[in-house]
Amino acid sequence: MTEPAITPELVAKHNLTPEEYAHAVEILGRTPSYTELGIFSVMWSEHCSYKNTKPLLKTFPTKSPKILVGAGEENAGIIDIGDGIAIAFKIESHNHPSAVEPFQGATTGVGGIVRDIFTMGARPVCAVNSLRFGPITSDVGDDVRSLKSNSESQSLVTSAPTNKDEDAQLKNNRRLFAGVVSGIAHYGNCFGIPTVAGEVYFDKTYQGNPLVNAFCLGVLRHEQITRGAAKGVGNPVFYVGPATGRDGLAGAAFASQDLTEESTEQQRGAVQVGDPFMEKLVCEACLELLATGCVAGMQDMGAAGLTCSTCEMAARAGTGIEIELDKVPQRAPNMSSYEIMLSESQERMLIVVHKGREEEVKRIFDKWDLPWSEIGIITDTGHMKVRQGGKLVVDIPARKIADESPVYQREAVEPAYLKDVRAFRLDGISDTQNPAEDLKKLLAWPSIASKNWVYRQYDHQVRDGSVVLPGSDAAVIRIKTDSLPVMSAELAAKVGDPTVSEKLIAMTVDCNGGYVYLDPYEGAKIAVAEACRNLACSGALPLGATDNLNMPSPLKPELFWQIKESVRGLAEGCKAFNAPVTGGNCSLYNQSPAGPIDPTPTISVVGLIEKPEHVTTQWFKDEGDAIILLGDAVDQADPIFSLGGSAYLQVIHGKKNGSPPRCDLEVAKTLHTTLIGLIQSGLVKSAHDCSEGGLAVALAESCISQLIARDTPRLIGATIDLSSVGQASSRADGQTNDGSSVASPHRLDALLFGETQSRVVISCKALDAVKVVERAKLMGVPAVQIGKVGGDKLTAKTANGEFSTPLAELHDAWWNSIARVMD
């Protein structure tokens, strides 16, 4: 095949700047071949190189005595959980592919993150996901605002589509939502891994650019950690897995450019096709192979395919690698070196084997009926060399391409729209007139409503390790003996008794992109604090975090400012909660012709629960139990009483505006420490954090969120008295004429639906209520008993009156909202 001439136009099509191309020529000392140009394109894409975010990522806390494999070292981070056992976990995005082909984009997102885990030597034991889509209902006012960007200015604008346009958009959003959920369910269920937790948000900012973030966690012994390094000069290199096809060509480069209608159609071939049954075979074969001790290094062929695995493994080991493409199994005839090297066909692994042990590899992969081929050898040249048909088609220094990509210090300028955000006040925003109806509307809002329509499609109990299923603040899984990979004979002799003491791992994923849009620094801190608060409500202490920076273009100073401030907030939050970042993913250029997404720095935090009796769930347990609020009912120092960016303003008043609630990390940390202490002392029967929708939604969810069978809820009511709790002034400045901070009449919406941070609703035995309140106050946490459990209604008394709603109505609005739209 004749390769095209390397022209400036061809270079531009590969998303390389003239300066980057000149640097590539300097590295090679010559004009690159067409295949080499493609390699530079994918390896220097943002998806693979983080060239725009590396300086920011260095600010994350990444050290801890428990960290065995840290951020950036390998395909996933690994943390010690005691008794010689460790967990490997990571989160990654598949946003652009899911926008083009939602089912396949989501399936291959799950498959890719699962491979990142077992390539470390760990057995995957559970999955989590974080999803964002455009609205699937039209019941939120059109004044909900989003950031629009063009070359001249950035401002808050109002989207007002015609009814016909809106119907088409809603239909497409539902199609994307259904396709992604179906893809996640298909891959996880077929592979046999429980999907135990997640989150789903709906907002106009994600219309045309959905976010699909996939998390996986695996388990292994310390001695089973596998490195992705091409060690041992003379060692053979094996390709294992299905044949390489033309699917997924240059997918990493596609993920590093703006998403437009033209690029979507052109890049449909950049979306990979997944086969979960094949991945299950590859996983089991690789874990069995690792137990033989014949593996010197292993890495999956994920983003950038064969290109990334070869050069990265050589770069980590400081070696060279040579491969012969004629030996690579190929699904299509007459594939060029460009196509083979850049293909992202799924379920493929690259394995470096100790010389002389090749027959063990062949025996194991034949046993599992897997395609394999010995395609290369490790050298001492430091170069990645690729041959096809006896011709050298690639010769690039491995470290230059893998580790020394261009790094940019982008300009950051605060966006002008934030001036309006900070100036927003509640003048002209009427207080709630019918809190019971407003509560039902909030519970039915898809971003708050039960996500059972989603998780009922997932098998969340396979492998029998799930302790707390989807539907509570955090998922909890049990790590037991059969969770671990098979041991080598040498390790088995060393370990002796293979049984292990069971461990309880909690995990959650969080981010309110609206908060981050309105204040990137504060919003990112809130994401970390809420994730850690969810763990505390489950009885867990944080071990570590993994993040997914879903961001717009770094090339516009106003948008890069959002990225920079978000990272600053994440870093401070992780430091405060001693949750070091073990790795993650940067997904930039998330924007469509309609504009950029809200910056969405998704954070997943993993924690450890010491004893089974400390596992705590969010729903109320028994009639007569006392209900206690930990934390301030209303932030009186906030001029808009934590209604900025709230679900209440969006759903009831159609406005996404105002500074989000303030997040004091010291206050949050004190709350978490106190809550964990109360749980460990046996005083807490339920715990649920207050987040979107505020106190009223948290109380309602505590009444209606328990399932006693697949479709059978257990509804248990509550009688609440807030008449003397957290009254907020109706004045915009929060002051009365005499300067005090409380005035009458009070803003009932701030009390019920404000989203003041660092609050948790707990329940305990009535006899323990005084003790719980006193202990909390001694620790410096505001605490007050606000009611008791019982009945078939949620009844709340306030200074403005009383309202009461049957639980059956609340549950119906919350449980069936998404299903009514999607089914």
Which is catalytic among the residues 23, 47, 186, 672?
47
CB 675 within 8 A of CB 760: yes
Tokens of 781: 């946490």
Q: Is 47 a catalytic residue?
A: yes
656 phi and psi, to 5 degrees?
-110, 90
CB 485 within 8 A of CB 622: no
Name the one residue in this structure whose structure tokens are 């990334």: 308
Residue 789, beta-bridge partner list: 718
Quick check: helix, strand or coil at residue 651?
helix
CB 78 within 8 A of CB 120: yes
Sign of CA dihedral 369, 375, 377, 383: negative
Structural element, H or E, at residue 760: strand 760-764
Q: Is 746 a catalytic residue?
A: no
The DSSP call for residue 472 is B
CB neighbours of residue 724 within 10 Å: 11
Tokens of 418: 């934030």
Task: Choose among 326, 343, 291, 352: nearest CA to 487.
Answer: 291
Spatial neighbors of 5 by CB under 8 A, at least 6 apart, are none
CB 325 within 8 A of CB 262: no
Which is catalytic among the residues 23, 94, 383, 688?
94
Q: What one-character-per-residue DSSP string does 422-435 give? A: HH--STT-PPPS-H
Task: Choose among 354, 348, 357: nearest CA to 286.
Answer: 348
Cα(608)–Cα(770) distance, integer angstroms: 29
Spatial neighbors of 334 by CB under 8 A, at least 6 apart, are 1
Give the pairing type, strands 383-388 and 320-324: parallel
The overall longest dimension of the chain from CA atoms, in Å, is: 89
Name the one residue in this structure whose structure tokens are 């261009």: 406
71 phi and psi, to 5 degrees?
-60, 135
- Within the chain, how many helices (H) and strands (E) appear? 29, 32
Tell me which amino acid residue 302 is.
G
In SS3 terms, 342-398 reads as HCCCCCCEEEEECCCCHHHHHHHHHHCCCCEEEEEEEECCCEEEEEECCEEEEEEEH
Distances (CA, A) of 494 to 121, 227, 483, 487, 489: 18, 21, 19, 10, 9
Task: Choose among 620, 671, 640, 647: nearest CA to 782.
Answer: 671
Cα(298)–Cα(383) distance, integer angstroms: 18
Task: Choose among 65, 84, 63: nearest CA to 73.
Answer: 63
Catalytic residues: 47, 94
